[in-house]
Structure 1
Amino acid sequence: MLVLGISGLDRSMSVKKDMLPGLDPREQRLVQGLESAAALVGEDGVIAASAQERHDGVKGTGGFPADAVEACLRVAGVSLDDVDFLAHGFRYEPSPAFERDDLVRRWYREVYSEQVQLDILASRYPGHDWSRKLVRVPHHLAHAASAYHLSGFSDALVLVADGMGEAESISVMSGRDGRLEVLRTYPIGASLGILYSVVTHYLGFLPGMDEYKVMGLAPYGDASRHAGAAEELARHLPGGRLLVPLLARDRSPVERETHRGSLRRLEELFGPARHPDAPLTQRHMDVAATLQRRLEESLLFVLRSALEETGGGPRDLCMAGGVALNCTANGTIARSGLFERMFVQPASGDDGAALGAALWQLRRHVPAEPVAMTMPYWGEGFGPEEIAGALAVLGPEHEVRELPDARLLAEVSGLIRSGAVVAWFQGRMEFGPRALGNRSILADPSAPHMREHLNAVVKQREEFRPFAPAVLDEDAREYFEIEPGQEGLFRHMLFTAQVREKYRDLLPAVTHVDGSARVQVVERDAAPRFWSLIRRFGDDWGTPMLLNTSFNLRGQPIVRTPQEAVATYARSSLDALAIGGWLVIRRPGARRGAA
Structure 2
Amino acid sequence: MSVKKDMLPGLDRREQRLVQGLDSAAALVGEEGVIAASAQERHDGNKGTGAFPADAVEACLRIAGVTLDDVDFLAHGFRYEPSPVFERDHLMRRWYQEVYSEQVQLGLLRARYPEHDWSRKLARVPHHLAHAASAYYLSGFQDAMVLVVDGMGETESISVMSGRHGQLRTLRTYPISASLGILYSVVTHYLGFQPGMDEYKVMGLAPYGDPSRYADVAGELSRRHPGGRLSIPLLARDRSPVERETHGGALRRLEELFGPARHPDAPLTQRHMDIAATLQHCLEEGLLFILRTALDQADGNPRDLCMAGGVALNCTANGLIARSGLFDRIFVQPAAGDDGSALGAALWQLGQHVPTTPVAMTMPYWGEEFGPEEVAEALTALGPEHDVRKLPDERLLEQVSALIRAGSVVAWFQGRMEFGPRALGNRSILADPTAPGMRAHLNAVVKQREEFRPFAPAVLAEDAHEYFEMKPGQEGLYRHMLFTTQVREKYRELLPAITHVDGSARVQVVERGNAPRFWSLIRRFGDDWGTPMVLNTSFNLRGQPIVRTPREAVATYARSSLDALAIGGWLVVRRSRAQEGIDD
| TM-score, L = length of structure 1 | 0.97
Match of 2:581 in 1: none
Q: Deviations over 1:295-338 (max 9, x none)?
A: 00000000000000014621100000000000000000000000
1:379 aligns with 2:367: yes
Read off the aligned partner of 2:490 and give its amino acid letter: K
Out of 390, 400, 403, the position equivalent to 1:412 is 400
1:42 aligns with 2:9: no
Alpha-carbon distance in structure 2 between the residues aligned to 1:501 and 1:588: 38
1:268 aligns with 2:256: yes
Judged with a 3 Å threshold, the aligned counterparts in structure 2 of structure 1 residues 421 and 589 are, in CA distance, closer, same or farther, namely closer
Read off the aligned partner of 1:400 and give its amino acid letter: V
1:501 aligns with 2:507: no
Alpha-carbon distance in structure 2 between the residues aligned to 1:284 and 1:83: 49
Alpha-carbon distance in structure 2 between the residues aligned to 1:464 and 1:312: 44
* Partner secondary structure for residue 277 of structure 2: helix
Give the CA deviation at 1:228. Answer: 1.2
Worse overlay, 216-225 or 309-318: 309-318
* Partner secondary structure for residue 169 of structure 1: strand
Alpha-carbon distance in structure 1 between the residues aligned to 2:428 and 2:577: 26
Out of 562, 571, 574, the position equivalent to 1:586 is 574
Match of 1:520 in 2: 508
Q: Deviations over 1:384-418 (max 9, x none)?
A: 00000000111111111000000000000000000
1:423 aligns with 2:411: yes
Give the CA deviation at 1:484. Answer: 2.5
1:349 aligns with 2:349: no
Read off the aligned partner of 1:64 and give its amino acid letter: F
Match of 2:46 in 1: 58
1:124 aligns with 2:117: no
Give the CA deviation at 1:231. Answer: 1.2
Read off the aligned partner of 1:122 and give its amino acid letter: R
1:489 aligns with 2:477: yes
Alpha-carbon distance in structure 1 between the residues aligned to 2:533 and 2:217: 40
How many residue pairs get matched?
578
Q: Deviations over 1:23-72 (max 9, x none)?
A: 12111000001000000000010000000000000000000000000000
Equivalent residues in 2 for 1:243-254 (5 A)?
243-254=231-242
Out of 95, 98, 101, the position equivalent to 1:110 is 98
Give the CA deviation at 1:589. Answer: 7.8
Match of 2:135 in 1: 147
Match of 1:187 in 2: 175
Alpha-carbon distance in structure 1 between the residues aligned to 2:199 and 2:301: 31
Equivalent residues in 2 for 1:273-292 (5 A)?
273-292=261-280
Q: Is the 8 A contact 2:563 2:577 kept in 1?
A: no
Out of 10, 13, 19, the position equivalent to 1:31 is 19
Read off the aligned partner of 1:571 and give its amino acid letter: R
1:364 aligns with 2:352: yes
Match of 2:75 in 1: 87
Alpha-carbon distance in structure 2 between the residues aligned to 1:534 and 1:588: 25
Match of 1:444 in 2: 432
Out of 301, 314, 321, the position equivalent to 1:313 is 301
Out of 387, 391, 398, the position equivalent to 1:403 is 391
Read off the aligned partner of 1:205 and give its amino acid letter: F
Match of 1:3 in 2: none
1:302 aligns with 2:290: yes
Q: Deviations over 1:546-574 (max 9, x none)?
A: 00000000000000000000000000000
Q: Deviations over 1:435-486 (max 9, x none)?
A: 0000000000000000000000000000000000000000000000012311
Alpha-carbon distance in structure 2 between the residues aligned to 1:27 and 1:589: 44
Q: Is the 8 A contact 2:459 2:533 kept in 1?
A: yes
Q: Is the 8 A contact 2:331 2:477 kept in 1?
A: yes
Equivalent residues in 2 for 1:495-574 (5 A)?
495-574=483-562
Read off the aligned partner of 2:194 and give its amino acid letter: L
* Partner secondary structure for residue 323 of structure 1: helix
Out of 56, 61, 69, the position equivalent to 1:68 is 56
Alpha-carbon distance in structure 1 between the residues aligned to 2:81 and 2:348: 19
Read off the aligned partner of 1:104 and give its amino acid letter: M
Alpha-carbon distance in structure 2 between the residues aligned to 1:229 and 1:162: 23
Give the CA deviation at 1:229. Answer: 1.6
Match of 1:5 in 2: none
Alpha-carbon distance in structure 2 between the residues aligned to 1:266 and 1:238: 26
Alpha-carbon distance in structure 1 between the residues aligned to 2:231 and 2:204: 25
Alpha-carbon distance in structure 2 between the residues aligned to 1:326 and 1:173: 20
Read off the aligned partner of 2:529 and give its amino acid letter: W
Out of 460, 471, 485, the position equivalent to 2:448 is 460
Out of 38, 55, 66, the position equivalent to 1:78 is 66
Q: Deviations over 1:146-196 (max 9, x none)?
A: 000000000000000000000000000000000100000000010000000
Alpha-carbon distance in structure 2 between the residues aligned to 1:233 and 1:510: 31
* Partner secondary structure for residue 156 of structure 1: strand
* Partner secondary structure for residue 578 of structure 1: strand
Alpha-carbon distance in structure 2 between the residues aligned to 1:276 and 1:32: 23
* Partner secondary structure for residue 576 of structure 2: coil
Read off the aligned partner of 2:536 and give its amino acid letter: N
Read off the aligned partner of 2:562 and give its amino acid letter: L
Alpha-carbon distance in structure 1 between the residues aligned to 2:198 and 2:288: 23
| TM-score, L = length of structure 2 | 0.98
Alpha-carbon distance in structure 1 between the residues aligned to 2:48 and 2:408: 30
Match of 2:466 in 1: 478
Unaligned runs of 5+ in 2: 579-584
Give the CA deviation at 1:232. Answer: 1.0
Read off the aligned partner of 1:366 and give its amino acid letter: V
Give the CA deviation at 1:368. Answer: 1.9
Runs of 4 or more consecutive aligned structure 1 residues displaced over 2 Å after TM superposition = none
Alpha-carbon distance in structure 1 between the residues aligned to 2:166 and 2:218: 38
* Partner secondary structure for residue 278 of structure 2: helix
Match of 1:4 in 2: none
Give the CA deviation at 1:588. Answer: 2.5
Worse overlay, 332-341 or 481-490: 481-490
Out of 196, 203, 223, the position equivalent to 2:211 is 223
Read off the aligned partner of 1:349 and give its amino acid letter: G
Worse overlay, 97-106 or 304-313: 304-313
Alpha-carbon distance in structure 2 between the residues aligned to 1:361 and 1:463: 44
* Partner secondary structure for residue 365 of structure 1: coil
* Partner secondary structure for residue 4 of structure 2: helix
- Over the residues paired in the alignment, what is the CA RMSD in angstroms? 0.7
Alpha-carbon distance in structure 2 between the residues aligned to 1:243 and 1:496: 27
Out of 196, 204, 210, the position equivalent to 1:208 is 196
Q: Is the 8 A contact 2:314 2:482 kept in 1?
A: yes
Alpha-carbon distance in structure 2 between the residues aligned to 1:348 and 1:127: 33
Worse overlay, 438-447 or 389-398: 389-398
